[in-house]
Amino acid sequence: MRGLRLTAVLGVSALLAAGCGGLGSDHSDALVTMGFGLPDEHATARVAVFREANPGVDLRISEGALDEQQFLSAVAAGDPPDLVYAERRKLGGYAARGAVQSLDACVREHGVDLGLFREAALRQVTYRGEVYGLPEFSSVRLMIVNNPVVRAAGLDPAALSTSDWAGMGEVADRLARVGGGRVERIGFDPKVPEFLPLWAKANGAELIGPGARLDDPRVVEAVRHTTDLVARQGGWASFKAFRDTFDQFGANNQYVTGQLAAMPMDSWYLNTLATNSPDADVTIAPFTDRNGQVLTESGGQAWAIPKGARHPEVACRFLVTMTDTQTWVTAATARRDALAEAGRPYGGTFTANRAADERIFREVFAPLGNPILAEGVPVALSLQDQAFALPPSPAASELVRAWEGAVNRVLVGQQEPGEAMAQAQREAERALKRVGGR
């Protein structure tokens, strides 16, 4: 569709009013990052590698999630950080708006082999033939099925499929436990609106790209299918309220307590589940499209250098170091050793660097007999190079808001799927016209 094609560049000076949200308070020679944190050895060990190789650099990690408005305002004000750590799906938009620099010269200078990066991840940070970011972690989406709950319903966990849309409602009915308006178990969580791109793709439709339309009948059908699954399991208010009670990152998570039978999930959750509930009885399998073909979506972050960065050459060294194969192996080893001290297994580190993953899972991987990792890691690895990723768009953030808003309106009963996605399409066209000058 013309309205969702990648088109013109909008100068960042026209994006936002200048002077708000900049980093102007720091006029030192420090190398400043935005959107990155130091939560574990994956971050601290890689930063340590850079610091050791660059002892004269005053690196300042401005911890916290990326605030997009603050970042774009800083760029517009001519006072950006030296590096930005952002979702890959948004970097194309930043590139189209001129908010980040091409890394082509940086990559050439440091001899970075772009062929090492997973194709979907690299494509997501490439705009009009130029690379604007170096991908970091790489997560894929797969199915995690709660075996005891499914077996208790008289079903075979291995036979649970996302291909038979007509039959999924009945399966969800058998697995769910809803009574008196209260949800006591979710049978199947379709994970919308976040996973709409996966469901739309499963029905043969794209949300971004040439020919894509948010009001495509196949997209509307995907919205109807997933929101109907929620509606028949108590409706959105009860469904969400119950889901919000999950101890998702704890030992009493939804698989242990039997609060959930099945859902698609990001692969990083395998490590969380294995660490907190090593004895959870689950089946890990690929998500499949309506033809029964394996389908998954790739996601993750990337490093980029904003327009106007004060230290682009040092910033280049930093992002090359952070995504380098040996750096990843060093970080993975540090992470494994830290977990081992706590008596926990190490389920590997999924990166967008194929060579790094090969070494990590050959040399560092230490599942310690954990059955979740033994079953799940091979599935996740097998999906990495089959994944699709949303292509870059100058209005990426606005498009995501448009379709997620539409699904939410359907979930709460404000609109029917067709009406909601038609509105989303109009919002998408306005956003693209605004950022593309059309």
Residue-by-residue pLDDT tens, the chain, 438 positions: 433 433 333 334 433 333 334 454 555 789 999 999 999 999 999 999 999 999 999 999 988 899 999 999 999 999 999 999 999 998 988 998 899 999 999 999 999 999 999 999 999 999 999 999 999 999 999 999 999 999 999 999 999 999 999 999 999 999 999 988 799 999 999 999 999 999 999 999 999 988 899 999 999 999 999 999 999 999 999 999 999 999 999 999 999 999 999 999 999 999 999 999 999 999 999 999 999 999 999 999 999 999 999 999 999 999 999 999 999 999 999 999 999 999 999 999 999 999 999 999 999 999 999 999 999 999 999 999 999 999 988 888 899 999 999 999 999 999 999 999 999 999 999 998 887 643
Angle between the 41-53 and 312-322 helix axes, to the nearest 10 degrees?
Answer: 130
The partner residues of 188 in beta bridges, in order of sequence, read 262
| CATH architecture designation of domain 32-138+299-378 | 3-Layer(aba) Sandwich (3.40)
Nearest to 185 by CA among 150, 160, 159: 150
What whole-number distance in Å separates Cα of residue 147 and Cα of residue 281?
Answer: 6
Looking at residue 10, its pLDDT comes to 35
Answer for the pair 405, 414: CB distance below 8 angstroms, yes or no: no
Looking at residue 350, its pLDDT comes to 96
Looking at residue 62, its pLDDT comes to 87
Looking at residue 27, its pLDDT comes to 59
Q: Cα dist. 267→13, 114, 151, 157 in Å?
A: 38, 24, 23, 18
Sign of CA dihedral 60, 66, 67, 69: positive
What whole-number distance in Å separates Cα of residue 264 and Cα of residue 286?
Answer: 9
The partner residues of 299 in beta bridges, in order of sequence, read 139
**What is the DSSP code string of 32-68?**
EEES----SHHHHHHHHHHHHH-TT--EEEE-S---H
Q: What angle do CA 321, 324, 326 make, to 5 degrees?
A: 110
DSSP 391: P
Tokens standing for residue 226:
């997933």
What whole-number distance in Å separates Cα of residue 213 and Cα of residue 217?
Answer: 9
What whole-number distance in Å separates Cα of residue 5 and Cα of residue 399?
Answer: 12
Tokens standing for residue 82:
């030296």
Query: Prior bond to 394 cis, omega within 30?
Result: no
Q: How far apart are the first and last CA of the chain?
A: 14
Answer for the pair 254, 248: CB distance below 8 angstroms, yes or no: yes
Looking at residue 259, its pLDDT comes to 98
What whole-number distance in Å separates Cα of residue 180 and Cα of residue 366?
Answer: 46
DSSP 360: I
Superfamily for 140-297+389-436?
Periplasmic binding protein-like II (3.40.190.10)
Answer for the pair 266, 141: CB distance below 8 angstroms, yes or no: yes
188 by DSSP, 3-state: which? strand
Answer for the pair 260, 145: CB distance below 8 angstroms, yes or no: no
Tell if the pTM clears 0.75, that is, is over it. yes
What whole-number distance in Å separates Cα of residue 434 and Cα of residue 78?
Answer: 22
Q: Which H or E run includes 422?
A: helix 417-436
Q: Cα dist. 234→150, 186, 247 in Å?
A: 19, 9, 20
What whole-number distance in Å separates Cα of residue 223 and Cα of residue 237?
Answer: 17
Domain parsing of the chain, residue ranges: 32-138+299-378, 140-297+389-436
Q: Which H or E run includes 142?
A: strand 139-146
Sign of CA dihedral 387, 388, 393, 395: negative
Answer for the pair 361, 378: CB distance below 8 angstroms, yes or no: no
Q: Backbone phi, then psi, for 299, in 5-degree steps?
A: -140, 165
